[in-house]
Amino acid sequence: MNLADCSSHSATARLLHFGSPGAIYLRRFVGSLHVGRCGSNPTHVKTLRLRSNPPKTLTVTAAMASEAEVAASAKIIDGKMVAKEIRDEITTEVSRMKDAIGVVPGLAVMLIGERKDSATYVRNKKKACESVGINSFEVRLPEDSAETEVLKFISDFNDDPAVHGILVQLPLPKHMNEQNILNAVSIEKDVDGFHPLNIGRLAMRGREPSFVPCTPKGCIELLHRYGFQIKGKKAVVIGRSNIVGMPAALLLQREDATVTIVHSRTQNPEQIVKEADIVISAVGQPDMVRGTWLKPGAVVIDVGINPVEVRRLPLRLVGDVCYEEARKVVSAITPVPGGVGPMTIAMLLSNTLSSAKRIHNFQ
Amino acid sequence: MNLADCSSHSATARLLHFGSPGAIYLRRFVGSLHVGRCGSNPTHVKTLRLRSNPPKTLTVTAAMASEAEVAASAKIIDGKMVAKEIRDEITTEVSRMKDAIGVVPGLAVMLIGERKDSATYVRNKKKACESVGINSFEVRLPEDSAETEVLKFISDFNDDPAVHGILVQLPLPKHMNEQNILNAVSIEKDVDGFHPLNIGRLAMRGREPSFVPCTPKGCIELLHRYGFQIKGKKAVVIGRSNIVGMPAALLLQREDATVTIVHSRTQNPEQIVKEADIVISAVGQPDMVRGTWLKPGAVVIDVGINPVEVRRLPLRLVGDVCYEEARKVVSAITPVPGGVGPMTIAMLLSNTLSSAKRIHNFQ
């Protein structure tokens, strides 16, 4: 358990934006870390009732500490388990659709360039598709491809009736115009939900987006499935990126929370976060949000996945929130890893299924 | 000065949404009002330096009260004067464009049905166009027109090179689908800025909307022209309508304020408003925001235009904010009328001019 001390990360903490849209990026934390008490080793078991139909009792884990700490520790919001539950539901629906109308949902993923992290994300998406019975189509193009070549593939996928979702893995090579390429994806197949028309509909009362961006959708889904009330609650979203922070705020707003977005220009962010019943953090700064920032009893959804290096120890992933401190203050928190991460791909599959259902008018 | 007491309005105050988009609607306040100390009679004169190029010293007025009150009273943000300044700038630009390339900006306004308030708004827009040299085109259709007929006119205006902005006066007759009709307006001529693609771009970092909705744009323009800092400030927007509250919040966010939207489901709105350096209120509830809700030194932009009836006295317009109380607490406030109201039409003219410049690539 003696891995790192949150205070050493936070000494250099600033609010940053995610570099670019796509999956959650891993930011490399460079700097010396004191060896102290941070990190989690889930061994303590709690049971928690999830809101689902029919309700299920699930086993969740909380990080082990002293007896006194255990008494005060938060429920763990188990994204891995919820994501599995969702994948199971999708598997059933994909199968039902195939049996009823002979259609199998299809997701096309485009990878341009040789980035290893991007290749891993694409591989994981492909695997996830296979696991639920969704067809996946993959296009890999070299780093120096022309933008027109990418646009041609997108155009073909737009017209292909076997493809119901199109995802262009970001970031793109620098010579390409991301906006042009994302705008070329048909709004009906924009399963990433990044099209401004989708974001506009998300922001507007009385409008419905075709798709909601996967990571923020996953955050809200966790709150729903664990039965946490959103309506009337004070919510703070830390970070205002196009792919997580802003759409998460818009989703909370749609559910009648009173929402504040905290960002790099916010003065006294800790005071604002301290008032929140619900905190969604998506900045990519390891352990930035300390226990003292949090309101007792708050619910914390930690989107950050930050690799930290501790001398002579393997790379470790931590969230934006200092987990060890937070779990003594809040009522529930997502772990990192195993919180929001697995939900993102589950929501991508969910969006692809929804798209296929909509295109084929299948209920 | 003995007109009404803010407390009598506020006794029944609830946060409401604007009924439907378009210009600012007048809501009829029904209920008995005690005769007390509320209302404004601007007679006290102050001077205030506006941020413009070149800077101008302008004369602004503050409500008259006792000597002690005058010492503590807020600057009045004079929307009528700023709107005139903007109209003068537009007149110059329209003339320059005509001389240089022979193009006169044109605004098409459609009025369907016989609503008197809508007819007034349309007449005012036409007059405003004339006053700055913008051509106006007007279509009036009877209440029972078919939706297809409206769509045909919109389509013609979309194709008409003399038309650079299209505005459909809302609300529409009940048998028409507002969404269909607004979506039919070409994004390049959507000077109202209500198209979800525009709202999406407004919400997204790195994207630029073609047009910003006129009333919220007017609010921010007032803050700019009076030189109030937005970056890093805590801002609260009261109301989350598609036409004012939400886009106002997105605009403040774009300018690096830390923004909270307060709405009908917000618990303890007064506590949240009390923390704000900038308050934009757009709910249509007379005198709902009391002096005690406001942080000393805050800047208040009051979008509400609410008619109140006091027995045996003519109908009087008041804002969402209890002006008499607020002006003793805040550093600056817009009056009602004469605050945001005149800015809305000025911004519509500004959007029409921008559209003509963009279409004809005129700098």
Domains of chain A: 6-83+213-344 (3.40.50.720), 101-205 (3.40.50.10860)
C-alpha dihedral sign at A151, A157, A158, A159: positive
- Model confidence at B313, pLDDT cuts 50, 70, 90, reads confident
Closest CA to B182 of B199, B201, B195, B165: B195
Instruction: Choose the closest CB to B199 out of A204, A234, A253.
Output: A204
The answer to whether A203 contacts B201, with C-beta atoms less than 8 Å apart, is no
Name the residue facing B203 among A179, A199, A263 (closest C-beta).
A199
Q: What is the pLDDT of residue A7?
A: 64
What is residue B314's predicted lDDT score, i.e. its pLDDT? Answer: 84
Q: Which of B204, B256, B265 sits opposite A242 (nearest CB)?
A: B204
A160 is catalytic: no
Q: Can you tell me the distance from the alpha carbon of A148 to that of A48, in angstroms, rounded to the nearest whole number?
A: 52
Q: Residue B202: pLDDT above 60?
A: yes
- B147 class by beta-carbon count within 10 Å (0-12 exposed, 13-18 middle, 19+ buried): middle
Q: How far is A242 from chain B (nearest CA, A)?
A: 6
pLDDT bracket for residue B28 (50, 70, 90): very low
Sort out which chain B residues have CB atoms less than 8 A from A17's CB and list them. 205
Amino acid at the residue B49? R
Q: By a Cβ cutoff of 8 Å, what residues of chain B touch chain A? A: 17, 179, 195-207, 231-232, 234, 240-242, 246, 250, 253, 256, 258-263, 265-267, 272
Mean pLDDT of chain B: 85
Half-sphere exposure of A155 (CA within 13 A, CB side): 7
Provide, rounded to the nearest whole percent, the portion of chain B with pLDDT above 70: 80
Name the strand (E) or helix (H) holding A139: strand A135-141
The whole-angstrom separation of Cα A281 and Cα A17 is 11
pLDDT digits (tens, 9 = 90+) for A160-181: 999 999 999 999 999 999 989 9
Average per-residue pLDDT for chain A: 85
Q: Is the pLDDT of residue A41 over 50?
A: no
The answer to whether B267 contacts A195, with C-beta atoms less than 8 Å apart, is: no
Determine whether the interchain pair B197/A198 forms a contact, defined as Cβ–Cβ distance below 8 Å: no
Residue A193 has pLDDT above 90, yes or no: yes
Q: Does the distance separating the beta carbons of A205 and B196 come in below 8 Å?
A: no
CB B301 within 8 A of CB B283: no
Query: Which amino acid is present at B135?
Result: N
Confidence of residue B73 (pLDDT cuts 50, 70, 90): confident
Region B108-125: mean pLDDT is: 95
Interface test with A, best of B20, B182, B204 (most A CBs within 10 A): B204
pLDDT at A268 over 90: yes
Q: What is the mean pLDDT of residues B246-254?
A: 98
State the pLDDT at residue A37.
37
Strongest mean pLDDT among A14-23, A65-74, B176-185, B308-317: B176-185
Ranges of H-type helices in chain B: 6-10, 67-72, 79-101, 116-132, 147-159, 178-184, 196-203, 214-225, 245-254, 269-273, 323-326, 341-359
Give catalytic status of residue B271 as yes or no.
no
- Whole-angstrom Cα distance, residue B160 to residue A9? 60
Distance CA B338, CA B318 (A): 11
Identity at B139, one-letter amino acid code:
V
User: Rounded to 5, what percent of chain A is helix, strand, coil?
Assistant: 35, 20, 45
Inter-chain touch B261–A259, beta carbons under 8 Å: yes
- Selected residue of B258, B259, B262, B272 to mutate for chain A interface (largest A Cβ count, 10 A): B258
Is the pLDDT at B80 greater than 80? The verdict is yes
Question: Across the strands, what pairs with A55?
Answer: none
Lowest mean pLDDT among A28-32, A95-99, B239-243: A28-32
Evaluate whether B272 touches B260 at the Cβ level (below 8 Å).
Answer: yes
Residues of chain B neighbouring A234 (CB-CB closer than 8 A): 267
Residues in chain B with CB shorter than 8 Å from the CB of A241 are 205
pLDDT above 50 for A56 = no
- Please report the pLDDT score of residue B310 as a whole number: 79
Are B267 and A231 inside 8 Å of each other by CB?
A: no
Q: Per the CB < 8 Å rule, is B207 touching A179?
A: yes
CA distance A248 to A235: 10
**Contact call for A258 and B265, based on CB within 8 A:** yes
Asked if residues B20 and B300 have their Cβ atoms less than 8 Å apart, the reply is no
- Choosing from B125, B217, B295, B328, which is the catalytic residue? B125
For the question of residue B192 being annotated catalytic, the response is yes
Sign of CA dihedral B40, B43, B45, B48: positive
Residue B8 is predicted with a pLDDT of: 58
From A5, A190, A192, A277, the catalytic residue: A192
ipTM exceeds 0.90: no
B241: chain A residues, CB-CB within 8 Å: 205
| Closest to B134 (Cα-Cα) out of B186, B101, B170, B92 | B92
Residues of A in contact with B246 (CB under 8 A): 203-205
